[in-house]
Every structure is written in structure tokens, then in C-alpha cells.
């Protein structure tokens, strides 16, 4: 679980200010998500996400949080995420970046407008044991869960 903290606050247990390349890539993926979608041709949705990211970045002390985890198990793994904005008056951004054991990168990004509540998204990424994931939140609290296909 990762909870957003003001930039100058100490991180909660389990959340880290990652110095790993995957952590940096995850933070960049979240903060540049609208540009990435624009390059892929996502259309009007890009404008909404760009506005949301700009709004979150314009706040004086947006809450940021990041955590890393290793995915274990013995078979195919499906990731699910639970998240909630830290306040009903702020834009929240949640992103997951996964690097599998073969070096393939997979990402999931969601922007929630002010007023959004608790959400659960299942099956956001499918991968194999041995992968590493980074969860990044802006103005949100989130938890990633994974289960092996045969045990869900």
C-alpha cells in the first residue's frame, strides 16, 4: 500500500523514495502520462488527463508516494488495484509500472477528477512471477494486489 505524502513529509512505512531506475521510470510515466497517451493517439481523453496532471502539479504541495514490490508465485499473475483520492477536492493520479523477468515494461495509469471516490480495477496488468512493480500515487492512497490465475 502506498499513501501520498506532502513532498516535505517523511514517507509512510512501505513507501519509498526510490532511487532505482524502475522507480524513476514509474514516476516519469505517471507525471508524463498525458504526453505518452497523446503520442499513441488517445484523442480527447488526452486533454482531460493533461488538464488533470497540470492541476495536480500546480497545487503547492501535491501529495506524492511511491512503493516497490517483487512479485512471487509459481504461475501467471494478474494485478488488481484499489485506490482512493486523499481528498474529494483534488485531482488524483495513480500509476503502476511493471518490469517482468525478461525486461518487458508494462504500465497502467489512471487520473481521477475531484469528487471521485474509492475504486477497484481488476486485471490491470498480467505478468509472471519474478516481475518487479512500482506503484506511484499523486494525492491518493492505493494498494496493488496480485494473484496467480489458478488460485483466484
Q: Would you place residue 148 in the very low, low, confident or very high pLDDT band (cuts 50, 70, 90)?
A: confident
Mean pLDDT (whole number) for 144-151: 78
The angle subtended at Cα 39 by Cα 37 and Cα 45, nearest 5°, is 35
DSSP characters over 92-147: EEEEEEEE-TT--EEEEEEEE-TT---EEEEEEEEE-TT-EEEEEEESEEEEEEEE
- The 10s digit of each residue's pLDDT in 94-118 is 999 899 989 888 989 998 989 999 9
User: How does pLDDT run across 58-76, given as a tens digit for each residue?
Assistant: 554 467 888 889 998 878 8
Question: What percent of the chain clears pLDDT 90, i.e. is strictly above it?
Answer: 25
5 secondary structure, DSSP code: B
| pLDDT of 83 strictly over 90 | yes
- Per-chain mean pLDDT for the chain: 74
Region 6-29: what's the mean pLDDT?
52
Can you tell me the mean pLDDT for 39-62?
50
CATH architecture of 2-151: Sandwich (2.60)
Q: Is residue 125 predicted with pLDDT exceeding 90? A: yes
Task: Spell out the domain ranges in the chain.
Answer: 2-151
Burial of 73 (0-12, 13-18, 19+ CB in 10 A): middle
Amino acid at each position: 500500500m502506498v499513501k501520498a505524502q506532502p513532498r516535505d513529509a517523511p514517507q509512510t512505512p512501505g513507501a519509498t523514495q526510490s532511487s532505482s531506475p524502475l522507480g524513476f521510470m514509474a514516476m516519469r510515466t505517471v507525471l508524463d502520462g498525458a504526453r505518452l497517451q497523446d503520442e499513441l493517439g488517445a484523442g480527447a481523453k488526452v486533454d482531460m488527463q493533461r488538464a488533470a496532471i497540470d492541476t495536480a502539479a500546480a497545487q503547492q504541495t501535491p501529495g506524492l508516494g511511491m512503493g516497490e514490490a517483487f512479485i512471487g508465485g509459481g504461475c501467471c499473475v494478474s494485478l488488481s488495484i484499489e485506490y482512493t483520492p486523499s481528498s474529494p477536492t483534488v485531482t488524483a493520479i495513480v500509476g503502476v509500472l511493471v518490469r517482468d523477468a525478461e525486461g518487458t515494461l508494462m504500465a497502467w495509469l489512471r487520473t481521477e477528477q475531484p469528487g471521485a471516490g474509492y475504486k477497484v480495477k481488476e486485471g490491470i496488468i498480467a505478468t509472471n512471477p519474478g516481475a518487479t512493480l512500482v506503484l506511484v500515487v499523486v494525492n491518493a492512497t492505493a494498494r496493488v494486489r496480485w494473484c496467480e490465475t489458478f488460485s483466484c
